[in-house]
């Protein structure tokens, strides 16, 4: 058997120094699983919410209530269940808190528990976590193509620039290891350029260089320079991706670009991004319009969805029903998958399945508040998702995920590397890796 005999929680600390929840599961066989909940800063309005204590202590962010829910409500209900049956475990969690946003138990408690059970289930089967995920999802494992942040902006850098992530992808690489080498050169070339201009000012929340720029375009220009300085031709082996995270600066069809002190309507925002797509080799773009701007997302996807991957993060919040609605609408052509937006592994796998059913790609993603937990490296691989987004190329909560992918690549029966196949849109596999 693989019966859950004990479930405990403890308070640990995330990469921003904030309290978060760790869950630990023990099975009758002695097998164990452990996981830590991450935390977002630029959260979608409809995603699962973390339960925090409020009040003056620890800035109101303590997790005593979430730990109490784990200990007093979740643990008794899960004891006796088979950890290999993730669906049944997650159904039990959802029965305790049927709210979409996990307001009763806290998404931080449910995420940590659900992921800990996933680990225990894999341990009970004696298989790597990525293999267990593939079994549960019925997918073909594939080592993901990384999306790696070079400059961090938006809510992760005190809103120094409007756009949240300026990233590179290396679809032209032949292995995960080669992606790491090329990204190393680009990341440090970008740092050298910033230092030469007297603009080096540390790093943002996810480890990308602090964006000391006077316009969003200057950040893109500098990114292209860094790629070139690293002896790569932008648009060949290396392409750019952006997380606009437009909900952070746009509501009700009005987008306020603080850095440039101007406001755009939906059409203006789409035109601006269209000019960027013409000027730079951008292959993927996340949340180009706000989470409340359905018409904008549909129009953006209609105009550019055949040449760029349009990823919904805040717009879809890892929710299968929202993915299905967006497929119907023709909004987005890929989904960002964050387990803690859904609150359980099963709901996150369901969102990925809804995307897969429509020929969409999935991007498995970390949060801006992370830890040493490497579950997402396995989830991305097991799902054969195509892309993995973790943040930048420094700070161990980021590097831990990349390093775990290198271990998976080295393991027996390692799945193949996605490479350019990671960049799919409209169900078409992109084979040229170019712009």
Residues at the contact surface with ligand PGA, assessed by CB under 6 A: 40-43, 164, 243, 245, 313, 365, 367-368
Provide the 10 A C-beta neighbour count for residue 406: 16
Rg (alpha carbons) of the chain, rounded to whole number = 21
Question: Which of Zn ion, ligand PGA, none interacts with 367 (beta carbon under 5 to 8 A by kind)?
Answer: ligand PGA
- Rounded to the nearest whole angstrom, what is the least distance from the CB of residue 40 to ligand PGA in the complex? 3
319 touches Zn ion (CB under 5 A): no
The answer for residues whose C-beta is within 8 angstroms of residue 385's C-beta and 6 or more apart is: 142, 144, 337, 352, 361, 362, 363, 364, 379
Closer CB to ligand PGA, residue 229 or residue 400? 400
Q: Are 176 and 146 in contact (CB under 8 A)?
A: yes
Whether 362 and 349 have beta carbons less than 8 Å apart is answered as no
Report in angstroms how near the CB of residue 413 gets to ligand PGA at its nearest.
31
Which one of Zn ion, ligand PGA, none interacts with residue 43, CB within 5 to 8 A by kind?
A: ligand PGA
* Catalytic one of 22, 24, 206, 397: 206
For Zn ion, which is the closer residue by CB, 42 or 183? 42
Is 248 tagged catalytic?
Answer: no
Give the N- to C-terminal CA distance of the chain in Å, as an integer.
Answer: 51
Sequence-distant (6+) residues with CB within 8 A of 332 are 297, 301, 310, 311, 312, 315, 316, 326, 360
The partner in contact with residue 365, picked from Zn ion, ligand PGA, none with C-beta cut-offs of 5 to 8 angstroms by kind, is: ligand PGA
The binder of 86, among ligand PGA, Zn ion, none, by C-beta within 5 to 8 A per type, is: none
354 vs 323: CA distance, rounded Å:
6
Question: Which partner, ligand PGA, Zn ion, none, binds residue 368 by CB below 5 to 8 Å per kind?
Answer: ligand PGA
**Whose Cβ is closer to Zn ion: residue 50's or residue 90's?**
50
Which lies closer to Zn ion via its Cβ, residue 243 or residue 350?
Answer: 243
Q: Which of residues 245-274 bind Zn ion (CB under 5 A)?
A: 245
Write out 232-253 in H/E/C secondary structure. Answer: CCECCCEEEEEECCHHHCEECC
Least separation, in Å, of the C-beta of 313 and ligand PGA?
Answer: 5
For Zn ion, which is the closer residue by CB, 365 or 377? 365
Residue 323 interacts, among Zn ion, ligand PGA, none and using kind-specific CB cut-offs from 5 to 8 Å, with none
CB 312 within 8 A of CB 273: no
Binding Zn ion (rule: CB under 5 A), the pick from 313, 350, 370, 404 is: 313
Smallest gap from Cβ 76 to Zn ion, in A, equals 36
- Identify what 430 binds: ligand PGA, Zn ion, none; CB under 5 to 8 Å per kind: none
Q: Does 243 bind Zn ion (CB under 5 A)?
A: yes
Respond yes or no: is residue 389 known to be catalytic: no
| Residue of this chain nearest to Zn ion (CB atom) | 313
Each residue 320-349 as x (binds Zn ion by CB under 5 A) or -, in order, gives: ------------------------------
Size of the site for Zn ion (CB under 5 A): 4
Piece in contact with Zn ion (CB under 5 A), picked from 104-112, 187-195, 310-318, 421-429: 310-318
Min dist. Cβ of residue 210 to ligand PGA (A): 16
Site string for Zn ion, 282-301 (x = CB under 5 A): ----x---------------
DSSP assignments along 35-86, one per residue: EE--B-SS--TTSPPPP---SSGGGGT--HHHHHHIIIIIHHHHTTSBTT-H
Burial of 413 (0-12, 13-18, 19+ CB in 10 A): exposed
Taking each helix axis from N to C end, the angle separating 129-137 and 345-357, rounded to the nearest 10 degrees, works out to 60
Query: Strand 334-337 to strand 361-365: parallel, antiparallel, or no bridges (unpaired)?
Result: parallel
Q: At closest approach, how far in Å is the CB of 45 from ligand PGA? A: 12
**Are 166 and 234 in contact, with CB atoms under 8 Å apart?**
no
- Residue 279 CB, shortest distance to ligand PGA, in Å, is 23
Q: Distance between CA atoms of 7 and 26, rounded to whole angstroms?
A: 6
DSSP 430: P
102, 338, 389, 401: the active-site residue: 338
Q: Which has the closest alpha carbon to 392: 149, 40, 147, 146?
A: 149
Q: How far apart are CA 349 and CA 314, in angstroms?
A: 17
State the nearest-atom distance from the C-beta of 58 to ligand PGA, in Å.
19
Residue 222 CB coordination number (10 Å)? 23
Binding site for Zn ion (CB under 5 A): 243, 245, 286, 313
Q: Which residues are catalytic?
A: 206, 338
């Amino acid at each position: 058997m693989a019966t859950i005999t004990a479930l405990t929680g403890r308070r640990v600390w995330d990469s921003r120094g904030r309290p978060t929840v760790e869950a630990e599961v023990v099975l009758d066989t002695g097998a164990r699983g452990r996981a830590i909940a991450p935390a977002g800063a630029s959260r979608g309005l409809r995603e699962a919410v973390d339960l925090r204590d409020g009040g003056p202590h620890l800035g109101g962010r303590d997790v005593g209530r979430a730990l109490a829910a784990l200990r007093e409500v979740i643990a008794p209900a899960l004891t006796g269940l088979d950890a290999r049956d993730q669906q049944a475990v997650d159904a039990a969690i959802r029965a305790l808190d049927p709210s979409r946003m996990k307001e009763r138990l806290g998404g931080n408690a449910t995420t940590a528990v659900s992921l800990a059970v996933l680990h225990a289930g894999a341990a009970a089967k004696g298989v790597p976590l990525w293999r267990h995920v593939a079994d549960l999802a019925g997918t073909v494992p594939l080592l993901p193509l990384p999306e790696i942040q070079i400059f961090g902006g938006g809510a992760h850098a005190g809103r120094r620039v409007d756009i949240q992530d300026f990233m590179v992808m290396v679809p032209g690489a032949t292995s995960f290891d080669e992606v790491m080498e090329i990204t190393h050169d680009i990341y440090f070339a970008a740092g050298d350029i910033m230092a030469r201009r007297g603009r080096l000012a540390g790093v943002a929340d996810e480890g990308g260089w602090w964006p000391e720029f006077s316009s969003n375009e200057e950040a893109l220009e500098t990114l292209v320079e860094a790629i070139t300085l690293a002896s790569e031709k932008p648009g060949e082996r290396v392409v750019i991706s952006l997380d606009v995270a437009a909900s952070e600066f746009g509501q009700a069809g009005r987008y306020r670009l603080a850095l440039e002190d101007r406001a755009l309507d939906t059409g203006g925002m789409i035109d601006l991004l269209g000019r960027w797509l013409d000027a730079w080799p951008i292959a993927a773009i996340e949340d180009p319009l706000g989470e409340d701007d359905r018409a904008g997302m549909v129009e953006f996807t209609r105009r550019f969805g055949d040449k760029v991957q349009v990823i919904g993060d805040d717009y879809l919040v890892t929710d299968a029903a929202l993915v299905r609605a967006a497929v119907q609408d023709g909004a987005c052509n890929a989904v960002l998958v964050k387990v803690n937006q859904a609150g359980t592994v099963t709901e996150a796998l369901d969102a990925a399945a809804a995307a897969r059913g429509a020929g969409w790609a999935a991007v498995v993603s970390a949060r801006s508040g992370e830890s040493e937990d490497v579950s997402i490296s396995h989830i991305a691989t097991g799902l054969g998702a195509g892309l993995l987004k973790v943040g930048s190329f420094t700070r161990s909560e980021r590097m831990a995920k990349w390093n775990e992918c290198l271990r998976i690549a080295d393991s027996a029966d390692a799945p193949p590397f996605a490479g350019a196949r990671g960049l799919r849109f409209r169900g078409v596999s992109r084979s040229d890796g170019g712009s």
